[in-house]
Amino acid sequence: MSAFRVADLSFLPLKNVLRQMSIGELINFSVDSPKLQQFIKSMKIPTGGFSVFLGAHDRMIKSDQQPWGYSFNKSTIEDDLTFFHHGLKHLENLFKVSLNTLSFGSSYMAYKFLEQEEKMPRSCEYLIINEISTGLDEFWQHQKDELVESISVEKGIVLSGEAWSNSDKIYNVDYLFVGHSGNMALTDLLQFNNRIVFLDRVSTSNQTIRNFLQVLKKSNSQLEVLTIRDSWEGSWDPIEVLEGLNAQEWNPEHRPQKFFLNSSHSKNLLKIQQHFYPKQKDSLANGIDLAEAYDFLRDDGVRVSVLFGEAKLQVFVWSQREKKLERKRRRSRGLSEPAAKRSC
């Protein structure tokens, strides 16, 4: 009696059997049978995309939605990158998805990756570079800069630990996290073309923040959320920071108590919370409580809220929809300007 083969099943039974399989089982079947590979392609299995971590000792690829992951540690890093290259192409072809997150554990891995450029993905949604070493020379810094320049990053960049990049591309993605911002200068702050930014371990003055907010007041920047965490557990002085902005305490007649991201971020909410709004008490999904924030209006009428916390300052820019609602409320009350409770 001949052995039973899954590929011999008719259409409907085969479809039902394959839908019960794990990602790993589907991959194994697709390698063994060209017929099953084509069938799996047509099924559009929801994997949520794939994420890759390339570390000095650990390399892994995993599904972002299904409980599947695979560690590949061959004899050399070069062998691993070759395996990664072919394996990722097979996954992208089989499940019709792209690379979500590409994560590097060190400058050395960036160097080895760039050394074999033909094996490098051309694009990803999120790029993560982690660097635990300090005081690296110009050569290793160049590797990180070249890596950022070489990959088309669709949504966000995470520079974790001691990592930094001199590439202007970091200012032109929607989401940015910098784990060691160092002595941020006003010129750095003004380059932001991002929507959500988290700057950790910042050492900057009240005047620098005030100058930034005054420029923000005159701009139509697409910045929505900026979090700055102080490197020395200090704090910024609201009176000095808000000087000249005509900032006022929260008034319930002017805006809601909680700030929510607009719907364009909904598909990325988990990634944003994890990488670009990390370790915060408030959840982006449940809204950020801004009852203690000070508000001022940009020159175009958009409201900005500034929240002072322990070793932390946050800036929230309300949407154009909130601006329109406020105008409607003012017209309905017949008031030209709301009364202030207290201003800076």
CB atoms within 10 A of CB 98: 15
Three-state secondary-structure class, residue 17? helix
pLDDT the model gives residue 339: 45
CB atoms within 10 A of CB 202: 24
28 within a domain of the structure (yes/no)? no
255 within a domain of the structure (yes/no)? yes
Domain count, the chain: 1
312 within a domain of the structure (yes/no)? yes
Picking from 310, 282, 151, 301, the residue whose alpha carbon sits closest to that of residue 225 is 282
Give the alpha-carbon dihedral of 31, 34, 39, 40, to 10 degrees: 10
Report how far residue 211's alpha carbon sits from residue 186's, in angstroms, rounded to the nearest whole number.
Answer: 7
286 within a domain of the structure (yes/no)? yes
**Burial zone of 139 (CB within 10 Å; 0-12 exposed, 13-18 middle, 19+ buried):** exposed
328 within a domain of the structure (yes/no)? yes
Report how far residue 125's alpha carbon sits from residue 30's, in angstroms, rounded to the nearest whole number.
Answer: 26
Q: Vertex 185, ends 311 and 206: CA angle to 5°?
A: 45
CB atoms within 10 A of CB 232: 9
**Neighbouring residues of 102: CB distance < 8 A, sequence distance ≥ 6:** 51, 52, 54, 121, 124, 126, 127, 128, 151
**Neighbouring residues of 184: CB distance < 8 A, sequence distance ≥ 6:** 199, 202, 203, 204, 208, 228
User: Which structural domain, as residue segments, surrounds residue 277?
Assistant: 174-344
- Which region, left, alpha or beta, applies to residue 142 given φ > 0 means left and ψ of -120 to 50 means alpha? alpha
Show the low-confidence residues of the chain (pLDDT under 50).
1-4, 336-337, 339-341
159 within a domain of the structure (yes/no)? no
Q: Vertex 252, ends 249 and 257: CA angle to 5°?
A: 85
Report the residue count for the chain: 344
Picking from 254, 236, 272, the residue whose alpha carbon sits closest to that of residue 318 is 254
Picking from 210, 162, 173, the residue whose alpha carbon sits closest to that of residue 189 is 210
183 within a domain of the structure (yes/no)? yes
Tally the C-alpha atoms within 13 A of residue 218's C-alpha that lie toward its C-beta.
7
What are phi and psi for residue 97, nearest 5 degrees? Answer: -130, 160
